[in-house]
């Protein structure tokens, strides 16, 4: 079945560092989504990308929809403690209301 490969699985960084993570697939998608899950909460949508090549920002977050439609990237600039959490990429599949998620990138900020 369709699968999203998300990397890295975990990141340990210092506060203030920039962060990059990505999501790839062997299938083409028309929408890429990035969600964040805080501990004990449900995931929350950060950025939605609807067009190949699109670059979209939301504060310190920037995401890109890959030209091949098979990948997407999320960057966080100048990380702060509240950035800690799990970041998931997700895609809708086949217009049948099915949204599948990558396995997540766990972001940790070292004290």
Which residues bind to another protein, rule: CB under 8 A? 31, 33, 35, 37, 40-45, 48, 50, 86, 88, 90-92, 95-101, 103-104, 106
Choice between 2 and 20, CB closer to another protein: 2
CB of 54 to another protein, least distance (A): 14
Question: Of the two residues 6 and 22, which places its CB atom closer to another protein in the complex?
Answer: 6
Least CB distance from residue 32 to another protein, whole Å? 9
Closest CA to 80 of 98, 61, 95: 61
Strand order from edge to edge, sheet including 61-65? 5-7, 19-24, 71-76, 61-65, 55-58
Shortest Å distance, C-beta 48 to another protein? 6
15-27: b (≥16 Cβ within 10 Å) or e = eeeebebbbbbee
The residue among 14 and 42 lying less far from another protein, judged by its C-beta, is 42
Nearer to another protein, 13 or 86 (CB): 86
Tell me how far, at minimum, the Cβ of 57 lies from another protein, in Å.
18
- Bridge-partner residues for 92, per DSSP? 99
Contact 13, 107 (CB under 8 A): yes
């Amino acid at each position: 079945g369709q699968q999203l490969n998300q990397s890295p699985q975990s990141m340990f960084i210092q506060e203030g560092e920039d962060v990059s993570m990505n999501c790839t697939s062997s299938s083409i998608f028309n929408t890429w989504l990035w969600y964040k899950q805080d501990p004990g909460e449900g995931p929350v949508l950060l950025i939605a990308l609807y067009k190949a090549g699109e670059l979209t920002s939301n504060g310190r977050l920037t995401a890109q929809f890959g030209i091949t439609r098979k990948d997407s990237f999320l960057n966080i600039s100048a990380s702060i403690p509240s950035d800690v959490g799990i970041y998931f990429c997700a895609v809708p599949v086949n217009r049948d209301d099915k949204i599948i998620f990558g396995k997540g990138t766990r972001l940790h900020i070292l004290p």
